[in-house]
Structure 1
Amino acid sequence: EAEKSLEPDYTRRGIRLDIIVEDDKNTHYNLEMQVKNNKNPHTKAFVLPKRSRYYQALLDIDLLQQGQEYDLLPPTYVIFICVFDFFAKGNYVYTFKKRCLENLELELQDEATTMLLNTKGTHGDISKDIKSFYDYVNNHIVNSDFTKQIDDEISYLKLDTKVRREYMLMEARLLDERREGEAKANIATAKRLISMGLSVQDIAKATTLPIEKIEELKAEQV
């Protein structure tokens, strides 16, 4: 499933997953293409680590229905395909599972795995198909049957006017949804800051909302 939206509720930040795959063993995979190593402009902290945490959390919420036991949660992989080396260690792949700090041989068997695929890597154990995929992502080099299939599919999609039109409409819809989500988040933040007694000017700086909107929200809470 492509472009799957997960919305916990209207006051919480929703996400749109690039790709969700379920295999015949009920293992679920979320694949995300990461082109930029973004930072929060306010805290200067890299976004990717806590983004992966949030994606894993919402993915789990979507996989467990009300009344179901926790052990019915299926194995999950959250995989970020990065065109940069987040840790600058040269690994082709960085794989993370929960381990005990007091005894690193002990793994928490929650069956949740986060992987960062580093297309700029130089060492590690990966298959020929994955290495050829890295070459394709980095330099558009077709050197395997796998990347030939990918390249043929992309070429077909570029020639299909209907697909192009649907893609442009999807991009416009995603932008609208993103703006709507950001607006809701800013309003929710503004309400919390108002309840904490911050000034209208400080709230405007923190949320980018216009002062008139903040004064309107403040009047509603009186």
Structure 2
Amino acid sequence: MAMLSPKFDDLTIGHDFLFKKVMRNPRICKHLLEEVLQAPIAEISYPEIEKTIDVFYDSRGVRLDVIVADEKHTHYNLEMQVKNTTNPKTGQHVLPKRTRYYQAMLDVDALQKGQNFDLLPATYIIFICAFDFFGKGNYIYTFKKRCLETSELEFPDETTIILLNTTGTHGNISPDIKSFFDYVNQHTVTSDFTKQIDKEIFHIKSDQKARLEYMSLETYVQDNRYEAYAEGEAKGLAKGVAQGLAEGEAKGLAKGVAQGLAEGEANEKFATVKRMLRRGKSSLAEIAEDTELPLDTIKRIQAEMQAV
């Protein structure tokens, strides 16, 4: 059985739900961007929060946590990443390819049919990671395309990927970013900036509407989990008992029950996978990690659903 989600009062800035709520405050979000980029931003707007982009009916969508745009039409995608997720089948970390996919989907969504490519806005994909993906100790890892033969030659496609490492030990960051990292890691208030964030979180947790929104979301998720578990367990157990009784031996009964329980657990997981695929809120890799099923199995279930 999957672990229960944290209670609303126990949520921290590292939780997806609360992070999006906090970044909805334009003053906090704008200041965070300015401190990361070390450049002023006149103003920001919110094209959409937690936007799901679907390109074709048979392609996988991508859920984006926070998208903001500045006065120059530059788009910023902010993501909170507390786990360094791996593909359970290959053992490969999914973060690099996830940023690549996010970038592609942002571009496809930004360019309207018939528009020229040069109208694509400059983009920044910023992942706030509670781990050091590269293990180099940097506070910030910034990536742009450069020529291998002439390293100072930058490819001018105006795309930037930034990984913020809250566990870093060196690099050029502002005091407010360092205090923000400490707040993510240890929930300690050490600056006016984190005091603003902590105050915002207090207001969010005092908002009955936000509480009900979180509870409704978690209740829906848990109901689906319990429903799938009960359905799978009952079917598997009944099949196992019937098979064991038919064999007429204690050994056969034990084997049948064990097999039935295993099949029931599999049925539960398959039902959960289908529900998660229908909602389209998680990537295939995330579904594989949450259900502990091979990625190939997730793809097979997705193909079967699309064939119906």
Does residue 62 (structure 1) correspond to residue 113 (structure 2)? The answer is no
Residue deviations 1:56-79 (CA, integer Å, cap 9, x gap): 000111111111111111110001
Relative distance call for 1:71 and 1:170 in structure 2 (3 A) is farther
Once the two structures are overlaid, the 10-residue window that deviates more, 84-93 or 61-70, is 61-70
- TM-score, normalised to structure 1's length? 0.80
1:152-191 to structure 2, matched below 5 A, reads 152-170=199-217, 178-180=276-278
Structure 2 CA distance, aligned partners of 1:67 and 1:56? Answer: 20
**Contact 2:89–2:295 (CA<8 Å) still a contact in 1?**
no
Structure 1: give runs of 5+ residues left out of the alignment. Answer: 187-203
Structure 2 CA distance, aligned partners of 1:34 and 1:77? Answer: 16
**Contact 1:5–1:16 (CA<8 Å) still a contact in 2?**
yes
RMSD value, Cα: 2.8
Does residue 24 (structure 1) correspond to residue 71 (structure 2)? The answer is yes
Identity across the alignment (%): 60
In structure 1, what is the equivalent of residue 178 of structure 2?
131
- Displaced runs of 4 or more, over 6 A: 172-177
Residue deviations 1:68-112 (CA, integer Å, cap 9, x gap): 111111110001000000000000000000111111111100000
**Contact 2:87–2:295 (CA<8 Å) still a contact in 1?**
no
Which residue identity lines up with residue 13 of structure 1 in the other structure? R
Relative distance call for 1:122 and 1:209 in structure 2 (3 A) is closer
Once the two structures are overlaid, the 10-residue window that deviates more, 59-68 or 83-92, is 59-68
Which residue identity lines up with residue 207 of structure 1 in the other structure? T
Relative distance call for 1:171 and 1:17 in structure 2 (3 A) is farther
In structure 2, what is the equivalent of residue 73 of structure 1?
120
If asked which structure has higher relative contact order (CA below 8 Å, sep 6+), I would say 2
Which residue identity lines up with residue 64 of structure 1 in the other structure? L
Structure 2 CA distance, aligned partners of 1:81 and 1:59? Answer: 18
The structure where helix makes up a greater share of residues is 2
Does residue 45 (structure 1) correspond to residue 45 (structure 2)? The answer is no
Relative distance call for 1:13 and 1:174 in structure 2 (3 A) is farther
Residue 162 of structure 1: CA displacement? 1.2
Does residue 206 (structure 1) correspond to residue 296 (structure 2)? The answer is yes
Aligned pair partner of 2:187 in 130, 133, 140: 140
In structure 2, what is the equivalent of residue 115 of structure 1?
162
Which residue identity lines up with residue 144 of structure 1 in the other structure? S
Structure 1 CA distance, aligned partners of 2:299 and 2:155? Answer: 43
Does residue 34 (structure 1) correspond to residue 124 (structure 2)? The answer is no
Which residue identity lines up with residue 44 of structure 1 in the other structure? G
SS of equivalent residue, structure 1 residue 137:
helix
- TM-score, normalised to structure 2's length? 0.58
